[in-house]
Amino acid sequence: MSTALFDELARLATEQRNPASMAIDDASIEEALHIINAEDHLVPIAVRREIPHIADAVRLIVAAFSKGGRLLYVGAGTSGRLGVLDASECPPTFGTPPDLVQGLIAGGKEAVFRSREGVEDVEQAGADALEDVGLSPADVVCGIAASSRTPYVLGALAHARSVGCATLFVTCAPRASVDVPADVAICPVVGPEVIMGSTRMKSGTAQKLVLNMLTTVTMIQQGKVYENMMVDLQMTSKKLEERSKRTVMTVTDLSYADASDLLTAAGGHVKTALVMHLASVGAAEAQRRLQRADGFVRKAIDVSAP
């Protein structure tokens, strides 16, 4: 029997034992929590070291969006669920179409809620998942794999490159050990997990931070944020409706009632309401200004009439 896979796994950074937690099974509850917390403090430092690469990835995503492309996350297990989570939060947060950012997970939607072991081991399945969503050369495909070796993810990235897509790879393996062709590799090395091989812990936290940065900064570059507030959110729930009113009130100093009236006049669109008030124009003119300013509120306020 070949031991190649066993040997490969034994070498992975994510499969090493952590000296700091060797006695965690004999620790008190408080001691165990402190061990975990101390290790978690290492995660943002590891992510910070990768900011130059994260910035390169954002530039690729912004360029893809400008050409009608999408961001497609591909992962398995925890990594796949994190991609699905980040993608699912973009429409309510930034008012994006549901298909602009998508998360594909080995095993399909069922695997989001219940682990399906083994489905990640087929490279072709990753390629098939991309074809199922109509992969285009304009898209950016971001593979997510803490260990850097997940076949489902590697198959998806290889297929994406063959189609001509820009590719990103988010992994917690050291950069020098990553042999995965991708336009940008993001490699926050968080060290061995508190519980050996449990990449739902530090590795998952690092990946979550990276994905948050990718989509948030991309959306800022798309004009989805004014100052530090969401201004393209959709009023699809009472919470988002009230958040919209609060945003308008915060920027304009209007009362609750006046902000509500302004939003009504703006068709429920926060950006339009802000430009109407800040530039002292009507709804139609505010919308025209926003269109000329590519959706950026700051620019729309300064856009002069033709």
Residue 15 a catalytic site member: no
Please tell me which residue in 15, 89, 241, 285 is annotated as part of the active site. Answer: 89
Rounded distance between C-alpha atoms, residue 151 and residue 106, angstroms: 10
pLDDT at 235: 77
pLDDT at 237 (0 to 100): 84
Architecture of domain 10-221: 3-Layer(aba) Sandwich (3.40)
120 part of the active site: yes
181 within 8 A of 167, measured Cβ to Cβ: yes
CATH of 225-302, one of 1.10.8.1080, 3.40.50.150, 3.40.225.10, 3.40.50.300: 1.10.8.1080
CA distance 128 to 65: 23
Q: What is the pLDDT of residue 106?
A: 93
pTM, rounded to two decimals:
0.91
- Domain spans in the chain, listed from the N-terminal domain onward: 10-221, 225-302
Phi then psi for residue 27, to 5 deg, are -85, 160
Dist. CA 68–CA 79, nearest whole Å = 26
Res 234: pLDDT: 74
- Token pair in block for residue 232: 């393209």
Residue 137's pLDDT is what?
A: 98
Tokens of 100: 């602009």
- Among residues 30, 110, 117, 120, which one is catalytic? 120
For residue 305, the model assigns a pLDDT of 46
Mean pLDDT per 10-residue interval, the chain, length 306 residues = 59 83 95 97 98 98 97 96 97 93 93 80 93 97 94 96 98 93 96 93 97 98 94 84 94 96 94 96 95 95 67
pLDDT for 4: 61
